[in-house]
Amino acid sequence: NAGVTQTPKFRILKIGQSMTLQCAQDMNHNYMYWYRQDPGMGLKLIYYSVGAGITDKGEVPNGYNVSRSTTEDFPLRLELAAPSQTSVYFCASSYFRGTGETSYEQYFGPGTRLTVT
């Protein structure tokens, strides 16, 4: 299994440009997440999904959009990039069983380092 994969690894955008960060997992996980990590800071949740066709906002959703058409893929769309979106973006996935003892362990991708200038 490849686990969680993210593309691209690095990207430089000009202010006002748009792009899509790709995330895929091959573990048949139902939950997927997007986080951003600013230098020296923790991770902040942008959006999450509990299954195909279902997404919801996290702490910092402004300026981003997501979709989840399949279990495997969870792309993050940046519209009108701004310097404040310069960050490292991590995608993660987990399997939530909902009954019995549940593990909330999240598997993270390697990240996308985005610079907006």
Partner 1 sequence: GQQVMQIPQYQHVQEGEDFTTYCNSSTTLSNIQWYKQRPGGHPVFLIQLVKSGEVKKQKRLTFQFGEAKKNSSLHITATQTTDVGTYFCAGNYKLSFGAGTTVTVRA
**Residues engaged in binding partner 1 (CB under 8 A):** 31, 33, 35, 40-45, 48, 58-59, 90, 92, 94, 96, 101, 103-111
> Minimum CB separation from partner 1 for residue 17, in Å?
25
Q: DSSP label at 96?
A: -
Of the candidates 30, 61, 62, 31, which has an alpha carbon nearest to the alpha carbon of residue 47?
A: 61
For 41-83, give the DSSP string.
--EEEEEEEEETTEEEE-S--TTEEE--SSSSB--EEE-S--G
> Minimum CB separation from partner 1 for residue 77, in Å?
20
> Minimum CB separation from partner 1 for residue 81, in Å?
22
